[in-house]
Amino acid sequence: MNHSAVILAAGKGVRMRSQIPKVLHLVAGKPIVWYVVNAVREAGINDINLVVGYGREKVEKALAGENLRFVIQEQQLGTGHALMQAQQSVNPDSTLIVLAGDTPLLQAETIKKLLDYHHQQEAQATVLSAILTEPYGYGRIIREADNGLKYIVEEKDASPEEKLVTEINTGVYCFEAKTVFSTLSKIRTNNAQGEYYLTDVFPILKREGHKIAVLAIEEAEQIHGINDRVQLAQAENIIRRRHNQELMRKGVTIMAPDTVFIDRQVDIGMDTIIYPYTCIEGETRIGQNCIIGPYTRINDSTIGNNVVIESSRINGAQIADNCNIGPFAYLRPEAHLHEGVKVGDFVEIKKSEIGEGSKVPHLSYIGDALLGKGVNIGAGTITCNYDGKNKHQTILKDGVFIGSNTNLVAPVTIGEDSVTGAGSTITRDVPAYSLAVERAEQKNVKYNKKRKD
């Protein structure tokens, strides 16, 4: 049995008050429309057509890797007009799912149920409906006396009596493709918006004797579309809650889940504990038996097993097993920590590789550096990697011990098992097994009289 889908995503989204196309606003780290595409694909439909219009170049770029067929709607003349544009792209012998690109809460299981019900009823069209206590803004399902579908009326065209109806049209439909496309040519624009409403095909189908079924969804939250920033925040809250629950069922402990924000694509291993007020974003992967937080933000990073990160900022870093980070550490892009590294409080690491078992305990900056195994960095140490024009590398070989308040002026290499004296400014290479000390001679000057307070 052939199945296809058309996702309507051509609108600007005026109420978002944004230059970004509505369907590209992020929800838990992914564009709104990505969730719709993902739900359709998880429902087993791979022939997916996306109708684009406003900002279509941005939409196509954002979804370039999703294996979609893009259909252009040059003028946004309504949902019926949008579906018309996809006629040449859809297999006429398929069963067609049509849905809006701004409904990220819709689940794959609901799409499967709609398809199954459509086939069971041997219908030419099936409407997904829902019961809302506050149906304002939605089209209403008006039923016949025998409970069948009579027609669908949009909010702006509804009479006072019709507005009292609480069963609403979700904007998700199932059609036999050949039938719906032949019917679309018969709809007109005699409505308050002057648009081609897709819902106008139902009275025509009914008059022509085609069966129309209605399936009421049980979880009404799935059908909520996003039209403004308030609804965006509401959808974000629901999607994050779902993802947190999914992670917890897989063996992750999330303390105070309402205070923890984890993007949809983040993966976390079992027996890891996430403390409150932690944000984990982007393409982040966290291993097993870790302790993360509180007050920690991580994005686009890979973290191994048995890692502790407390009250720190991790951005684009690679962290191997058994590392201990924080509190108040800052790992910037291309920071690469090997196994068993210690990074303490008020330490910043950027574009540097820290060897196995090395320690940067506190109050240091390590940038553009290559540290070997078992290196110990004293408090207050910095790599002076920037000369005002170019960045230079600092290399510390295995077993190096850097005394407190050392300035390492790059490019410079400290040989294996060497030591720098506290307070030194090292500007030249240090050979292996050496002590490097650079200090001005201390002078004690006696006062002629007691110093005034």
Dist CA 198 CA 216 (whole Å): 19
Query: Residue holding tokens 């910037």?
Result: 332
Torsion of CA 429, 432, 435, 438, to 10 degrees: 0
Pairing of strands 425-426, 212-216: unpaired
Q: Which of 119, 224, 362, 392 is catalytic?
A: 362
- What tokens were used for 436? 């490097």
Dist CA 59 CA 263 (whole Å): 20
* CB-based contact 290:303 (threshold 8 Å): yes
Does a cis peptide bond (omega within 30 degrees of 0) precede residue 411?
yes
* CB-based contact 31:52 (threshold 8 Å): no
HEC letters along 7-62: EEECCCCHHHCCCCCHHHCEECCEEHHHHHHHHHHHCCCCCEEEEEECEHHHHHHH
**Eight-state DSSP code of residue 341:** -
Query: Residue holding tokens 């701004």?
Result: 102
* CB-based contact 6:171 (threshold 8 Å): no
- H-helix segments, 291-331: none
Q: Pick left, alpha or beta for residue 245 (phi over 0 → left; psi -120 to 50 → alpha; otherwise beta).
A: alpha
**Eight-state DSSP code of residue 101:** T
> In the annotation, is 3 catalytic?
no
Q: Phi and psi (nearest 5°) for 34?
A: -60, -40
Residue-by-residue DSSP string for 108-159? HHHHHHHHHHHHHTT-SEEEEEEE-SS-TTSPEEEE-TTSSEEEEE-GGG--
Residues with a catalytic annotation lie at 362
